[in-house]
A and B are shown apart, each in its own frame.
Chain A
Amino acid sequence: MKIILHGNYPRSEKLVEATRDFERGRIKEEELKKFFKEDILNLIKLQKNWDYIFTGQFYFQDLLRPFSELVYEVEIDGLKRFYETNFFMRKLIFKKFEIKENKKFFEHYLLCDGLFNKKENLTFTFPFLFFFQEFSENIKLKEIGELLLKVIKELNEWGNKLLIFYEPTFGFKNINEEEKEISLWFLKELKKFKNLKFALHSFFFDVSNDLDFIFSLDFDGYGFDFYNNSRDFILKNFPENKLLLAGIINTDSTLIEKEEFIEEFIEKSINYVKEENIYVTTNWSPEFLPREIMDKKIKNLIKGEN
């Protein structure tokens, strides 16, 4: 059984407290960094011999915010509910669209100030086009694509990365023809970057009505929330030789998954997808759970694997 993580990983209780202390002036930045480092190193320990190492994206306040540092004149606005959860994101208001160079994006947000190096097999999670647009203003879908491509071009130089695009908009609202066309253009551009692999991960909603469109986007892999979707319905037309990111670790519940449920899921999935192409993962971003619980869920999987 192969495991992969994505999204933002939850911060430990100690780090949560440290961020609060830092904001209230009770500790210095250097001290706060130590807590971040400890959280990151503990996550690395969990991922022994995995195909792709997940950095945890601990410095991300949310999946969009770091992108505001890649464009001139962006305002970070009020809170907007993250789809149907009790997590809120801040909207990005683009005053004008002009991309700028910013090393901090790569070094701080992606490589965690030297804790990871460019050459490692890393996985990063970025927002896909519709999700990005849902939480921003005054930016066209194509411009979002251009901004993402600018980042991806740099990552292609690094090589050996899996980029997972989050898209909770499937099943949440209708995607029109023009939006579909821009998505197809974006995919065509993505495929020019030969040193990277790309996956699309949908979650929260029943995506059965969008499934044909999802599979028409030529990703290397597709992720699904199997606590909101039927395995057989999703997999019966699953494209050949693609990776399946099986969202069967439920981050909407603190209940540790029963081993027999995981085994049964994989056994039945093998009828549609080669076993070596299946990655067990979370249905949503891990940060919907407290750190301790999320760690337990991963350890439980590893134990099952052994």
Chain B
Amino acid sequence: MKILTHEIGSLAKPSFRVKAFRKIKLTDSDIEEAEKWGHFLEIDERKELIDILSKRENFTEEEKEKILHFSSLYAIRLLEKAGLDLVYDGEQHRVEMYEYPVKHIRGFEFKGHVRSFDNKYYRKASCVSIPTLVSPYHDEEFERIKNLAKKPVKIPVTGAYTIVDWSYDEYFLRNIKPGEGDIREKRKKARKDFLLSIAKNCIYPVLKSLYEKGAKYLQIDEPAATTKRDEIDLFVLTMKESIGDLKGKVFFGTHICFSDYSLLFPKILELEGILNEVHFEYANRDTREIGINPEKRKGYEILKEFKNTKFIVGLGTIDVHTDFVEPPELIRDRILYALDIIKDPDRIYVAPDCGLRTRSWDIAFKKLRNMVEGKYLAEKEARI
């Protein structure tokens, strides 16, 4: 019996990786950073990287491929050195979680930028015909990471519900007339058709291909799961269709964050036996005080909903939106509090709240290292 630790997806991309791909000239500090982390992470082949980076600009395709390889290797080693049980490369191969899959699905067209908040915009695509998969888009990434990692690998896959919710729909809604008497029912049916089409034609084949390539741990990211209160049933249906007959063959987790989780219950219980792990963000809602009473651990209130379920609880224990490095004792108490509710240490997997993309590597590493340390303290305290 042991409490397992893992990450949740993204890490920042190192500046040498970003600039090389954006055709921005590298500076001394970018190269020094590559050397510093290479040394710290004990990457013996780093000289090869430094030699390539010394060119500073106008990298060939082959050189860019090498740079990508090293950014992936560095990220994997960072997670391994922090002591995580399951690792990944922090999305070094991807643009981000929405554009990347959509670019690999036929039937979508990018339409332009829309505001997310303030002056932050994202590129939004529209479904213009029946979505079909060009090819399973995470296979190559998985193969590369698997060959580099010394620990088991977990691959995140953006879920069907989130892809649909973040896209426009020109195809399934094409015959909807404004003001029709049954417009809401018709829209819901169109939405269901769109969701099932993505789940069956795109996400299932991606998951199946990863399974066939030997993936043992897959994480379905669904940050949009609770966006629409009356679509929780569709989210659950979409998850069932995405996993299909792969149920029980692979460890499936889902990650949902910054949402009203109460909306998911009781409907999500239909996914028991299909999903192994349900991971939420909790630390962001919690206090920073040490202790295992409910007032101190108010961010973990929703845990009671998991008490009598079969789900493994993916426990977000570090806040990804702040540079505050949680002390191991705080992580320990968050785990002990969860353990007190869930009872079974095998049903708790410790993780950050979300991907650490917005933190520097220095902060991300310190946070993860303390998370692992906190896990050991909790195991010791609970005599696991």
Q: Do A and B bind each other?
A: yes
A contact residues vs B (CB 8 Å cutoff): 10-11, 13, 16, 19-20, 23, 61-62, 79, 81, 84-90, 206, 226-234, 246-248, 250, 252-255, 257, 261-262, 264-265, 268-269, 283, 287-293
Decide if A287 touches B114 in the complex (CB within 8 Å). yes
State the majority secondary structure of interface residues on A. mixed
Q: B201 at the A/B interface (Cβ < 8 Å)?
A: no
Residues 9-47 of chain B: 1 if any A CB is under 8 Å from the residue's CB, otherwise 0? 000000000000000000000000000000000000000
- In the complex, the answer to whether A254 meets B116 with C-beta atoms within 8 Å is no
Q: Is the CB of A290 within 8 A of B124?
A: yes
Q: Are A230 and B114 in contact (CB under 8 A)?
A: no
With A and B bound together, what is the CA distance between A10 and B116 in angstroms? 12
User: Is B169 within 8 A of A253, CB to CB?
Assistant: yes
Question: In the complex, which residue of chain B has the Cβ closest to the Cβ of A20?
Answer: B119
Q: Give the residue among A87, A88, A227 with the most B Cβ atoms within 10 A.
A: A227
Known: A16-B113, A253-B170, A288-B114. A86 touches B165 (CB 8 A): yes
Q: For A283, what are the chain B residues with a Cβ–Cβ distance below 8 Å? A: 178
Judge whether B324 is part of the interface by a CB distance below 8 angstroms: no
- Picked from B121, B126, B166, B176, the residue with its CB within 8 Å of the CB of A16 is B121
Contacts of A81 in B (CB 8 A): 227
Given contacts A255-B173, A289-B111, 7 further A-B contacts (CB under 8 A): A85-B227, A90-B118, A230-B180, A253-B168, A257-B178, A290-B113, A290-B114
CB distance from B379 to the nearest CB of A (A): 34
Q: Which residue of A lies closest to B124 (CB)?
A: A290
In the complex the two chains form, is A226's CB within 8 Å of B179's CB?
A: yes
Q: What residue in chain B is nearest A227 (Cβ atoms)? A: B178
> Are B178 and A289 interface neighbours, CB within 8 A?
no
| Set of chain B residues within 8 Å of A61, measured between Cβ atoms | 118-119
Within 8 A of A (CB), among B160-213: 165-166, 168-170, 173-174, 176-184, 187
Instruction: Indicate whether B229 reaches chain A with its CB closer than 8 angstroms.
Output: yes
Residue pairs across A and B with Cβ atoms less than 8 A apart, 20 shown, are A20-B121, A61-B118, A61-B119, A62-B117, A89-B117, A90-B117, A90-B118, A226-B183, A230-B180, A230-B181, A233-B181, A234-B179, A247-B178, A252-B168, A253-B169, A255-B126, A261-B178, A288-B114, A290-B113, A293-B112
- Checking A226, A254, A288 against B178 with a beta-carbon cut-off of 8 angstroms, the contacting residue is A226
Cα-based distance from A265 to B114 in the complex (angstroms)? 28
Residues on B with C-beta less than 8 A from A227 are: 176, 178, 183, 187
B112: chain A residues within 8 A (beta carbon): 13, 290-293
* Chain B contacts for A254, CB-based, 8 A: 111, 126, 168, 170
**A229 to B115, Cβ gap below 8 A?**
no
Residues of chain B lying within 8 A (CB to CB) of residue A19: 119
Q: CB-nearest residue of chain A relative to B180?
A: A230
| CB < 8 Å neighbour of A87 from B115, B176, B179 | B115
B228 close to A (CB within 8 Å):
yes
Inter-chain CA distance A283–B187, complex, in Å, is 15
CA distance A304 to B229 in the complex (A): 37
Expressed in whole angstroms, the Cα–Cα distance for A15 and B260 within the complex equals 34
Q: Which of A81, A254, A257, A287 has the most CB of B within 10 A?
A: A254
A290-B118 Cα distance, complex, nearest whole Å: 15
In Å, the complex CA distance between A265 and B184 comes to: 16
CB distance from A263 to the nearest CB of B (A): 11
Cα distance A292–B121 in the bound complex, in angstroms:
15
